A and B are shown apart, each in its own frame.
Chain A
Amino acid sequence: MDFSSFLLMRQEILLLAITLLLILTEIFIPQNKKSSIVHLAIFLFGIHTIVGFFAIEEGNIFGGMFHTNDLVHFFKNVLNIGVLILLLQSADWLQEKIVIHNRGTEFFVLMFASLLGMYFMISAGDFLMFYLGLELSTLPIAALAAYETTKRISSEAGIKLILSAALASGVSLFGISMLYATTGSIYFNDITEVITATNLSILGLILFFAGLAFKISLVPFHFWTADVYEGAPISIASYLSVISKGAAVFILMILLFTVLKPLMFIWENLVYVIAIATMFIGNLFALRQQNMKRFLAFSSIAQAGFILLGFIIGNQLGAATVVYFVLIYVFSNLAAFGVVQAISLETGKENINDYEGLYRTNPKLSLVMMLALFSLAGIPPVAGFFGKFFLFIAAASEGYYILVFIAVVNVTISLYYYLLVVRAMFLRKSDNPIPFFKNKLYMRLGLIITVLGILILGLYNPIYDYIFELSGNL
C-alpha cells in the first residue's frame, strides 16, 4: 500500500509529532529553562493550526475505519483554533502555577492527546474507532481535571468525571453492542444500509445516544458538568465546555444525520424532548449560581439545548446552522472563560458579586465579558444572535414553531442571568472592587482573537455560506 494515503491523517500525525517532540524536550531541557516549554508548545501548536488550513482531499483508509472530508477537516480546524485560544489564555496560569512544579509538559501532552482523540472520534468510520477516539478524548481530561493535585475539589472533579464517563461509555457500549446485534456490523456505511426500527435497535440508539449526550451534557445526563467545571482548573473547564462539547456535538450530528438517518422518526422526537428539558433545566439552574464557573457550566448546558434545535430537522440546513452555532459558541464561551481565567489568576476571585464595579476598574475586561455574554444570550449585532436566529430558522423550516417558541422563552430567561453578571460589572459600585491589572501578552492575544471572532462571525456572511457548502458533503 502507498503511504501517501496516510496524508489523510496529516492533522493527527502532526499533532502526535508535536506531542512526542514535547516529551523529548521535557527530557532534555535543563531545569532552569522549563518555562520556555510553554512558549514552545504554543508556538508549535500555532504552526499546527496554520498548517491545518491547507486542504485535505476526501477519503477513507483502514478499510473505512478512518474517513475524512472537508467538513470534518473544517471542524478539526475549529477545534484547533479553540485549543489555540485556550492555550493562549491559560499560558500565564501554566507559567505561574504549573511549570514551577515542573509539570508543564504533562499538561500539553494530555491535552494534545485528548485533542487527538477527538480528531479520531470525529473522523471515525466505524464504532470501534469512534469508541477509541471517545475514550482517548475523555480520559486525559479526567486526568487534567484532577490536575491541581493540591486542591481537594480538583480531585473530586476528576473522580466525578472519570466515574460518570466510565458509566456513560459503558452504557453507550451496551447500546453499540445492540446496534451491532441488529445490523451485524460496526461500520457506519453498512449500518446505514441495513438498520431498521426494531425495539432492539431503538434501545441501542437510546443507550448509545446517552453516551454522547453525556459529553454534550444534555439533560438528564448533565449532572457531572457543573461540579467538574467548578472543581477543575479553569482552562480545563473551558476545554470541556467548548472543545469536547463541540466535538461530541459534531460526531453526534454526523451519526444521527447519516448513520442513523433511518431511525430519524425516532430520534427527532427524542431530540425534541431532550432539547426542551435541557434548555429549561440549564436555565433554571443557571439563574441562581454565584460561582462564575458553575454559572458558565449551566449556561453551556442551556446552549447545548439550543444546539439541538438544529439537530431536529436532520438535513443540510440543520448541519450548517449547528456547525455555525458551535463555531460562534467556541469564541463566545472562550471569551467568557478567558475573562474568568484572567481575573481568577490575578485575584483568585470567582464569584459573580466579586465582579461588582469591575467596569470602573477594568473597563476592557468587562467589555469583553459583556460582549461574550451578549453573544451567548443572542443579542445583536454580536455573532451569537445570528447563530441562534439561524438555529430557530432551521427548526421553524420544518414547522417546529412550538419548539422555537419554547426556545425564545428560554432565551429571555437566559438573558436574565446574563444580565445579572452585566449588572454586577457595570451597574453596581463596590467598596473593594477588583483592582486594575494589566494582562500579559498571551492572555490579551487570546481575548482579542475571541472578541474579533464574536464581532466578525455574525456580520461577515461568507463564513456561513462556506459552512453551508461544506455541510453539503455530510
Chain B
Amino acid sequence: MDILSLFITVPIITILALVFTKGLKQARIVSMVGGVIQLIMAINLVFAYFKEKAVNDAIMVFTRDVVWYEHFNIHYSIGVDGVSVALLLLTAIVVLAGVFISWKMNDLPKEFFISLIVLSIGVYGFFISIDLFTLFVFFEIAVIPMYLLIGIWGTGPKEYSAMKLTLMLMGASAVLLVGILGIYFNSNADGGALTFNILEIAQVNIPFEVQKIFFPLVFIGFAVISALFPFHTWSPDGHASAPTAVSMLHAGVLMKLGGYGVFRVAMYLLPEGALHWSWFFIILAVIGVIYGAFAALKQTDLKYINAYSSVSHLGLVLFALLMLNKTSWNGAILQSLSHGFMTALFFALIGMIYSRTQTRDIYKLGGLLKVIPFISVIYVIVGLASLGLPGLSGFVAEMNIFVGAFQHEDMFYRVSTIIVVSAIVVTAVYILRAAGIMLMGPVKNEAYLNLPKVTWYEKTGILLLLIPIVGMGVAPLWLSDMILESLQPFIQAVL
C-alpha cells in the first residue's frame, strides 16, 4: 500500500468501523480517530514530499499506476506534486475540524459521519489522481453526499437547496464529461494510443480547433463548483441550508476542486484553448469578484455574507488561473488554501453563534464581543484575514495574484487586474459591517447575556483552522516556494 492510496483506504476503513458503531459517542470517537490519522498522514506526506523531491525531480512523485479498463486505457493512476500536497493537507485539517465542530450531531450521527467521510474520500481521490477517468469518478463521489448531508441534517429550505446544489453541480460535471471525452479522443493527436493520463496527454499537442471547442466545456464544468458567475447561485442557498460541518467542508474543500481541476486539466491540457478563451472567462471572473463582494454587502444572513464572499474570493482564484503565469497561479493555489481555512473557520464560528443564539441575522445579534468574547475575537481575526490583512493568510495569496496578474503587458489584463484589486476595499466594507453590527455595539437581546461558553471541542476545531491561517500569513516562504517549484513544469507546458 503506497503512501497515497492510504488517503483512500484509511477513510474507507473508518467508514467500515463506523458501520459497527452505536450512537453518537462511539461514532464521533471513531471518526475523530480517523481524522487524526489522516491529518498525521497528510503532515507526514509534506515531509516525505520534500525528502522525495530532493532526489527525484519528476513532475509527480509517489506515482502509482494500475491498469483498470485496458480497452479504454483507463488506469488507477495517482501521484502528487506540491500543489496537491498542500491541498491534501488542507483537506485533512478541515475534515478533522469538521468532525470536532459536529461533536454534538444528535440526529443519525453514524450516517452523518459516514457521508462526511465519503465526501472526503472523493476530495482526497480527486487531488491525488492523475487519470482523467478516476479524477472524474472522485469528483462525482465528492459531490453526491452533499445531497444527503444538506437534505437530512440541514436547516431552512434544505430540500430545495440540496436539490439545487446537486443538480447544478451534476449538470456541470455532465458538461465536464463531454469535455473529458473530447480530450480523450484527441489524446492520440500525434499518433500513439488514446489515454486518460494527464501527464501523457500533456505531451501531446491537441489541435487548436479541438481545444477551442472543448476548453469551455472543461472550464465551465470545473468552474461551476468554484462558483463561477453566473453559475454560483447554488452556493449561497447550499451554504445557508447546510449544517455547519458541511458548510465548512463544502466551502473549505469542495469548492477548491474547481480551481484545482481548472489548473490541472483545463489549463494544462488545453493551453491554446485557454489562451483563446481567457478574455471571456476573465471577464466572467472579474464580474464574479466585484459582484460577489457587492452582493455580500447587502446580505443580512451571516451564511449568505460568507457564501457571496466565497464567490468573490474564488472568482479571484479563477481570475488568477486565467492569468496564465507562475506568480498568479501560485497566488491562486495559495488563495485556495487560505480561503479554505478562512471560510471553514468562518462557517464554524457562524455555526457556534447560531447554535447559541438560534439566529444568523446580523441585525438580531449585537454586542457579542461582550458575551462570547473568544468566538467573537476569532471572528474578527478571520475577518481581517479575509480582507487581506498582512500577517494572515489572505494577504499572501492576494499579493501573489495581484503582482502576478500585473506582469502582463496587455492593457486588458492590467485593467482587469486593477478592477479586481479594488475589490479589497469592498471586502473590507462588508467584513467590518458584519463585525460592527454583530459583534460590537450594545447587546441587543437580554437573552444573549448568558450564552454558554465555548467548549473544548469547539476550541480545538477553531485552533486547528486558525493556526494554518496565521502560519501561512507569517511565514509563507516554504509553502509558496514548494508550490512555485511544482508549477514550473505546468507553466512551461502552457507557454
In the bound complex, do residue A408 and residue B178 qualify as a contact, i.e. CB atoms below 8 Å apart?
A: yes
In the bound complex, do residue A396 and residue B72 qualify as a contact, i.e. CB atoms below 8 Å apart?
A: no
Question: Is the C-beta of A270 less than 8 angstroms from some C-beta in chain B?
Answer: no
**Nearest Cβ on chain A to B278's Cβ, whole angstroms:** 23
**Nearest Cβ on chain B to A266's Cβ, whole angstroms:** 25
Question: Is the C-beta of B491 less than 8 angstroms from some C-beta in chain A?
Answer: no
What A residues does B20 contact at CB under 8 A?
Answer: none
Question: Is the C-beta of A119 less than 8 angstroms from some C-beta in chain B?
Answer: no
**Nearest Cβ on chain B to A312's Cβ, whole angstroms:** 15
Task: For the complex, give the distance between the alpha carbons of A405 and B214 in Å.
Answer: 12
Task: For the complex, give the distance between the alpha carbons of A401 and B68 in Å.
Answer: 25
Q: Chain A interface: which of B44-52, B164-172, B254-262? A: B164-172
Question: Is the C-beta of B116 less than 8 angstroms from some C-beta in chain A?
Answer: no
Q: Mark A376-398, 1 if CB is under 8 A from B, else 0.
A: 00011100010001101100110
Within 8 A of A (CB), among B138-167: 138, 140-141, 144, 147-148, 151-152, 158-159, 162-163, 166-167
In the bound complex, do residue B185 and residue A397 qualify as a contact, i.e. CB atoms below 8 Å apart?
A: yes
Name the CB-closest residue of A to B74.
A461
Question: Is the C-beta of B16 less than 8 angstroms from some C-beta in chain A?
Answer: no
Question: Is the C-beta of B181 less than 8 angstroms from some C-beta in chain A?
Answer: yes
Question: Is the C-beta of B410 less than 8 angstroms from some C-beta in chain A?
Answer: no
In the bound complex, do residue B72 and residue A390 qualify as a contact, i.e. CB atoms below 8 Å apart?
A: yes
Question: Is the C-beta of A411 less than 8 angstroms from some C-beta in chain B?
Answer: yes
**Nearest Cβ on chain A to B300's Cβ, whole angstroms:** 27
Question: Is the C-beta of B137 less than 8 angstroms from some C-beta in chain A?
Answer: yes
In the bound complex, do residue B69 and residue A464 qualify as a contact, i.e. CB atoms below 8 Å apart?
A: yes
Q: Mark A433-474, 1 if CB is under 8 A from B, else 0.
A: 000000000000000000000000000010011001000000
Within 8 A of A (CB), among B97-137: 133, 137
Question: Is the C-beta of B175 less than 8 angstroms from some C-beta in chain A?
Answer: yes
In the bound complex, do residue A412 and residue B174 qualify as a contact, i.e. CB atoms below 8 Å apart?
A: yes
Within 8 A of B (CB), among A404-419: 404-405, 408-409, 411-412, 415-416, 419
Question: Is the C-beta of A422 less than 8 angstroms from some C-beta in chain B?
Answer: yes
Q: Which of A385, A404, A423 is in CB contact (< 8 Å) with B163?
A: A423
Task: For the complex, give the distance between the alpha carbons of A464 and B70 in Å.
Answer: 10
What B residues does A325 contact at CB under 8 A?
Answer: none
What A residues does B147 contact at CB under 8 A?
Answer: 419, 422
Central interface residue in A320, A380, A409, A422, by most chain B CB within 10 Å: A380
In the bound complex, do residue B148 and residue A426 qualify as a contact, i.e. CB atoms below 8 Å apart?
A: yes
Contact A461/B159 with A401-B178, A416-B167, A419-B166 known, Cβ cut-off 8 Å: no
User: Chain B at the A interface: mostly helix, strand, loop or mixed?
Assistant: helix
Question: Is the C-beta of B182 less than 8 angstroms from some C-beta in chain A?
Answer: yes
What A residues does B151 contact at CB under 8 A?
Answer: 423, 426-427
In the bound complex, do residue B170 and residue A415 qualify as a contact, i.e. CB atoms below 8 Å apart?
A: yes
Task: For the complex, give the distance between the alpha carbons of A397 and B188 in Å.
Answer: 12
In the bound complex, do residue A393 and residue B167 qualify as a contact, i.e. CB atoms below 8 Å apart?
A: no
Q: Which of A317, A397, A461 is in CB contact (< 8 Å) with B69?
A: A461
Within 8 A of A (CB), among B176-214: 177-178, 181-182, 184-185
Task: For the complex, give the distance between the alpha carbons of A317 and B69 in Å.
Answer: 13
Tally of chain B residues near chain A (CB < 8 A): 31
Contact A408/B177 with A380-B141, A415-B170, A416-B167 known, Cβ cut-off 8 Å: yes
What A residues does B133 contact at CB under 8 A?
Answer: 389
Q: Mark A360-382, 1 if CB is under 8 A from B, else 0.
A: 00000000000000100001110
Task: For the complex, give the distance between the alpha carbons of A465 and B147 in Å.
Answer: 34
**Nearest Cβ on chain A to B241's Cβ, whole angstroms:** 11
Task: For the complex, give the distance between the alpha carbons of A426 and B177 in Å.
Answer: 28
Q: Which of B140, B158, B162, B166 is in CB contact (< 8 Å) with A380?
A: B140
Contact A385/B140 with A419-B166, A422-B147 known, Cβ cut-off 8 Å: yes
Q: Which of B140, B158, B159, B181 is in CB contact (< 8 Å) with A404?
A: B181
What B residues does A415 contact at CB under 8 A?
Answer: 166-167, 170
Contact A396/B144 with A426-B151, A465-B71, A468-B71 known, Cβ cut-off 8 Å: no
Task: For the complex, give the distance between the alpha carbons of A393 and B196 in Å.
Answer: 12
Q: Which of A320, A392, A404, A412 is in CB contact (< 8 Å) with B167?
A: A412
Task: For the complex, give the distance between the alpha carbons of A320 and B152 in Å.
Answer: 39
Q: Which of B171, B175, B181 is in CB contact (< 8 Å) with A393?
A: B181
Central interface residue in A317, A389, A468, by most chain B CB within 10 Å: A389
Q: Mark B54-76, 1 if CB is under 8 A from A, else 0.
A: 00000000000000111110000
In the bound complex, do residue B178 and residue A405 qualify as a contact, i.e. CB atoms below 8 Å apart?
A: yes
In the bound complex, do residue A464 and residue B71 qualify as a contact, i.e. CB atoms below 8 Å apart?
A: yes
**Nearest Cβ on chain A to B146's Cβ, whole angstroms:** 11
In the bound complex, do residue A416 and residue B182 qualify as a contact, i.e. CB atoms below 8 Å apart?
A: no
Given known contacts A396-B181, A408-B178, A409-B171, what 14 new A-B pairs fall within 8 Å (CB)? A317-B71, A379-B140, A385-B137, A385-B140, A389-B133, A392-B177, A393-B184, A396-B178, A397-B185, A404-B178, A412-B167, A416-B163, A461-B68, A465-B71
Interface residues of B (CB under 8 A from A): 68-72, 133, 137-138, 140-141, 144, 147-148, 151-152, 158-159, 162-163, 166-167, 170-171, 174-175, 177-178, 181-182, 184-185
Interface residues of A (CB under 8 A from B): 317, 320, 374, 379-381, 385, 389-390, 392-393, 396-397, 399, 401, 404-405, 408-409, 411-412, 415-416, 419, 422-423, 426-427, 461, 464-465, 468
